Amino acid sequence: MITAQGLTRVFRTRSGPVEAVSGVDLTVEDGEVVGFLGPNGAGKTTTVRMLCTLLKPTSGTATVAGHDVVRQRAEVRRRIGYVGQSGSGGEHRAGDELRTQAMLQGLDRAAATARAAELAEQFDLGELLERPCSKLSGGQRRRLDLALGLVHRPGLLFLDEPTAGLDPQARANLWDHLRTLRAEQGTTIFLTTHYLDEADALCDRILVIDGGRIVASDTSDALKNQIGGDVIILESDQIGDITAVATRVLPDCRPDSTVGSVHLHCADAQRRLPELLRALHEAGVELTSIAVKRPTLEDAFLRLTGRSLREEGRGAAPAEQAPQPDQAATGDAPAEPIHSEVAS
């Protein structure tokens, strides 16, 4: 469904070129649900925008749904849905948004009304069709966004952080809709997320990108198993001291530190913990909590990227790399809408 070889994107900025994506190779099979993870600024959005034909690659090639993302943009757009982060808003009623989107996709009024009703049923929007989008809850809006992205029955759906900012119940509800979509219609789903539990729960495979390069591509279980052994998690304000003591006392256990905690990867953590705790006590380190557990996807992510997804802020890109408008220079402006949200 998706192939990319050597996909690269360099942005020209006032402070010089920024290589956002550096030779990405990837494949996604028909019907797969793939999670695309990476720290802030890793290159996720840029990659997705190239695959969705919203941004031209500087070099490399990609095909999506059998068509080249540069030479056959319109063909690609007809076959994909893209649901971005911004969400549908405004005073238009939800039902009108769906009907308008269906008419933009070429349906006549009667067919558009029928398609809107079908999607409303699929995504539990029936009661909400007369309501202005601005009056929908976060979860309802995301369901409407999904429905809008699916108006033209694409076989492939790109989702950019589909549950960002939703409460746990609304997230679980959206996960159910995505599972049903895949089970009943075989839709291929490529999603970015900052929630590792979401990737764990929904995705057949996880791609990790860091510094513009793919650093892992595997199932969640395989990524966890790569860590091996147990993880000792020590929380404290004295991260540097813990790392120093652990390196001395347990030289074969690799420490990864994150904000406020050190994760030690050990073969037999239970047996070795007393020795470590004794040494930490003698060094005057005060711990706020200790836990021993099996590796999680968070541990795998930390190992791969040296950073925790949880400590990633949702803020702006680093100042020296702040995105500059460069569409005029590259001709990247969308030629044809994929979905009303991205057409503006």
Ligand X SMILES: Nc1ncnc2c1ncn2[C@@H]1O[C@H](COP(=O)(O)OP(=O)(O)OP(=O)(O)O)[C@@H](O)[C@H]1O
Interface residues with ligand X (CB under 6 A) are 11, 13, 18, 20, 38, 40-46, 317, 321, 323-324, 326
Q: How far is the CB of 24 from ligand X (least distance, A)?
A: 11
- Closest to ligand X by CB, 42 vs 174, is 42
How many whole angstroms from its chain centre is CA 25? 17
What is the rounded distance in angstroms from the CA atom of residue 182 to the CA atom of residue 186?
5
What is the rounded distance in angstroms from the CA atom of residue 24 to the CA atom of residue 42?
12
> Nearest 5°: phi and psi at 58?
-75, -40
- Closest to ligand X by CB, 47 vs 236, is 47
Q: How far is the CB of 45 from ligand X (least distance, A)?
A: 3
* Tokens 């500059």, residue located: 324
- Six token digits for residue 42: 């890793």
Q: How far is the CB of 38 from ligand X (least distance, A)?
A: 5
- Closest to ligand X by CB, 183 vs 317, is 317
- Closest to ligand X by CB, 13 vs 61, is 13
First-to-final CA distance of the chain: 27
What is the rounded distance in angstroms from the CA atom of residue 179 to the CA atom of residue 203?
10
Q: How far is the CB of 97 from ligand X (least distance, A)?
A: 25
Q: How far is the CB of 176 from ligand X (least distance, A)?
A: 25
According to DSSP, residue 67 is labeled E
Q: How far is the CB of 99 from ligand X (least distance, A)?
A: 32
Q: How far is the CB of 87 from ligand X (least distance, A)?
A: 16
- Closest to ligand X by CB, 43 vs 81, is 43
- Closest to ligand X by CB, 16 vs 90, is 16
- Closest to ligand X by CB, 17 vs 126, is 17
- Contacts within 8 Å (CB) and 24+ apart, 109-114: none
20-24-29-35 Cα dihedral, nearest 10 degrees: -40
- Helices in the chain by DSSP H: which ranges? 44-51, 73-79, 94-104, 109-122, 138-149, 168-185, 196-202, 220-227, 239-249, 269-282, 297-305, 327-330, 340-343
